Chain A
Amino acid sequence: AAETLKIGWTTSDSPNDPYAIGAHAFAEALEEAAPGRFDIRFFPSRQLGDEKEMLEGLKFGVLDMAIITNAVIANVEPAFMVNDLPFLYADEDQAHHVLDGPVGQGLLARLEGDKIVGLGFMEGGFRHMINNVRPVSQPADVAGVKFRVMQNPVFISMFSALGGNAVPMAWGEVFTAVQQGTIDGLEIPVPVIAAAKYDEVTHYLSLTRHTYSAIALLMAQRTFKKLSDDDEAAIRTAASKAVDLQRSRVAAVQQALVSELESRGMAVNVVENTKPFRQAVTPVYDEFRDRIGAETMDAVLEATQ
């Protein structure tokens, strides 16, 4: 009989959502690699809890698979923080190169100790800044603007380093807070701007590419070990194929979404040169070096110089 695999993620099951795209790409690739062997059940929209719980759930073996944001994994394996360093990856290709290479695979391998099988890094797209004060094109533009940031020390330090005003705020309150002017803006990947209709309440979209959002396709070791060798191989093959598929679909979606947001009235500017930003955030790199581990850090820095 077909093996049931429950896969969870926290965003909606929409055709523009990187997590949903990833889950469906994996299902397609798996059906191709092992026709009829698996019955994949989708649990979008935080149905099985937030990412912290799903990650723990994989460890306890109460959930089969999940797509989890890098920053959340870093709370369990600090080395993952390296991916969230601001202005680290210059573009998608560079990120793919590092994440598919020894560094990325080394990170995923660390999860074995947590009883989790890391199948690969998909992408949520670069995170950018949106706000209602001014377009951001150089570090000084960030100063004095109240940006909501993810509750994550790297992001908080990054905005402090840029002289901005980082406001950690629960996601549920952010939309109204921007609308009412409680905060000026936030940092966010493009698909989320569209999905959550932030174009209705924020004016400037600055493509700052400040953080590459890696999202990991993970499986519970308990589920993985139950599988036959053939099925394990099928899962691995499907995962690597799904990663490629997901990345190219997300790229297409993003491009379309940026023009759509522009046509809906957002003022979009591209930050061509991110070097001054990277210079400004050097203290952040130093701050987290120890927690990330010198070896991982140096390997990534060398690959992204």
Chain B
Amino acid sequence: MSPLRSGIAAVDGLSGLLARLTVVVAVTMTGVMVASLVLQIVFRYGLGQALTWSEELALFLFTWIVLLVGSLGVREGFHVRLTLLHDYLPGWLRLPLDLVLGLLVLGFGLVLLTSGSDYVTETLGQVSAAVGYPIEALHLAAPVSGGLVVVHALASLLNGSAFRTAVPPVEELSDG
């Protein structure tokens, strides 16, 4: 295999691995998030003592889930978009357009990664409002999400699958 091909395969493999990892982490976090909300009610009624950490924990996990799974959308192409114009374009125009859009997504990921890292370092020492956990645990979600966007965007650009999915599959359609 040529070095270029093996490089592409490596990025693709990394993207796939990170995607699987993201799924496992997100499913676990969702479980804990729902559980802490339910515990909150149980404690307030069943035990007559309100929990002070449940809401903040649930919200912390929520941010992580959104930013993690959001990055997954770059790989799986489930983010919503208008395909009106796209569908009418001739094939030879679609490819360069997708390339440009893919590069923009990649650039966005890079900015989120770097500005997110700045955000984490600039706010070191700050604590959360209720529990007082170190705020970098929360802020870290931004650069991590940015980094994942970069890997997935790069992989899909390299293997030519950027924006493959025109309309998201049925089971993923729903935004309320």
Contacts and interface: CB of A to CB of B under 8 A. Distances in A.
Q: Do chains A and B make direct contact within the complex (CB under 8 angstroms)?
A: yes
Interface of A: 52, 56, 59-60, 71-72, 75-76, 144, 146, 150-153, 156, 165-170
Contact of A169 (B49, B55, B123, B131): B55
The prevalent SS among residues of B at the interface is loop
B54 to A, nearest CB: 9
A76 B126 contact: yes
Nearest to A113: B125
A151 B129 CA distance: 6
Contacts of A150: 129
B48 A165 contact: yes
B126 A75 contact: yes
Contacts of B125: 76
B164 interface: no
B122 interface: yes
B52 A156 contact: yes
Interface of B: 44, 48-50, 52, 55-56, 122-123, 125-132, 135
A166 B50 contact: yes
25 contacts: A56-B123, A59-B122, A60-B122, A71-B129, A72-B129, A75-B126, A75-B132, A75-B135, A76-B125, A144-B48, A146-B50, A151-B55, A152-B129, A153-B130, A153-B131, A156-B52, A165-B48, A165-B50, A166-B50, A166-B52, A167-B44, A168-B50, A168-B130, A169-B55, A170-B55
Contacts of A169: 55
Contacts of B44: 146, 167
Contacts of A168: 50, 52, 55-56, 130
A194 B14 CA distance: 56
